[in-house]
């Protein structure tokens, strides 16, 4: 199923679990990785643009109403000054996962990383690596899986598949290079 079809199907479902917000549509290539992994795990999400600097009232409204609308976790991605995750965390008690994005006006992404990572006490933001939308999606799924057995089982299966993929690649490499190591 294509990304757009997945996005539409998950956005239209009535029970949302994860809100994915980004400071600009230029952040979409990174943030769609979070959406893709959530879709793969059948976790319902919404995806939208909420700029901390251009639409602060929208940010406040989104964060303040997130729990009432059924969200369990918010993934917020931004580049440059990257104030979106921290500001979102300031207006909700839901877990916020920050995704620092290397943007066109970025200082190699370090400005985004440090902005999201260095939150003051009392306003935590879980921070993933630069451009790590996929890990943000997986972390959101783990938060939900801590309280939802079905999601936890899907995550277990996901990790087993990753393990099996690595073992398969190791086996192929052993065959092609005639390696002795076989554990």
Would you list the domain boundaries of the chain? 3-147, 149-183
Query: From the centroid of its chain, how far is CA 164?
Result: 24
Interatomic CA distance for residues 22 and 26, integer angstroms: 9
Mean pLDDT of 63-92: 97
Nearest to 32 by CA among 133, 104, 116, 120: 133
Q: Does pLDDT of 154 surpass 90?
A: yes
Q: Which of 46-50, 124-128, 170-174 has the lowest mean pLDDT?
A: 170-174
Per-residue pLDDT, 13: 46
Looking from the CA of 104 toward its CB, the CA atoms found within 13 Å total 4
CA–CA dist 77, 64 (Å, integer): 18
Report, as an integer, the average pLDDT of 54-59. Answer: 97
How is domain 3-147 classified at the CATH fold level?
Rossmann fold (3.40.50)
> What is the per-residue pLDDT for 156?
98
Candidate from 7-16, 33-42, 55-64, 88-97 with smallest mean pLDDT: 7-16
Residues whose CB falls within 8 Å of the CB of residue 177, separated by 6 or more in sequence, listed in order: none
The arithmetic mean of pLDDT across residues 125-141, rounded, is 98
Residues with Cβ within 8 Å of 26's Cβ and at least 6 positions away in sequence, in order, are: 79, 103, 104
**Spatial contact of 45 and 155, defined as CB atoms under 8 Å apart:** no
Rounded CA separation 58/22 (Å): 12
Give the pLDDT band (50/70/90) at residue 56: very high
């Amino acid at each position: 199923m294509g990304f757009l079809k997945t996005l539409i199907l998950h956005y239209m479902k009535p029970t949302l679990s994860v809100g994915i917000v980004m400071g600009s549509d230029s952040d979409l290539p990174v943030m769609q990785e979070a959406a893709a992994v959530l879709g793969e795990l059948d976790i319902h999400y919404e995806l939208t643009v909420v700029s901390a600097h251009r639409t602060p009232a929208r940010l406040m409204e989104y964060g303040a109403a997130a729990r009432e609308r059924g969200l369990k976790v918010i993934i917020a991605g931004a580049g440059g000054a990257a104030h979106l995750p921290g500001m979102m965390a300031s207006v909700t008690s839901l877990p916020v996962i920050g995704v620092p994005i290397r943007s066109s006006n970025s200082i190699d992404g370090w400005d985004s990383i440090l902005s999201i990572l260095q939150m003051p006490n009392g306003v935590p933001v879980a921070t993933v690596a630069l451009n790590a939308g996929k890990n943000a999606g997986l972390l959101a799924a783990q938060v939900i899986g801590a309280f939802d057995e079905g999601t936890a089982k899907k995550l277990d299966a996901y990790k087993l598949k990753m393990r099996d993929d690595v073992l398969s690649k190791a086996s192929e490499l052993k065959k092609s290079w005639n390696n002795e190591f076989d554990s």
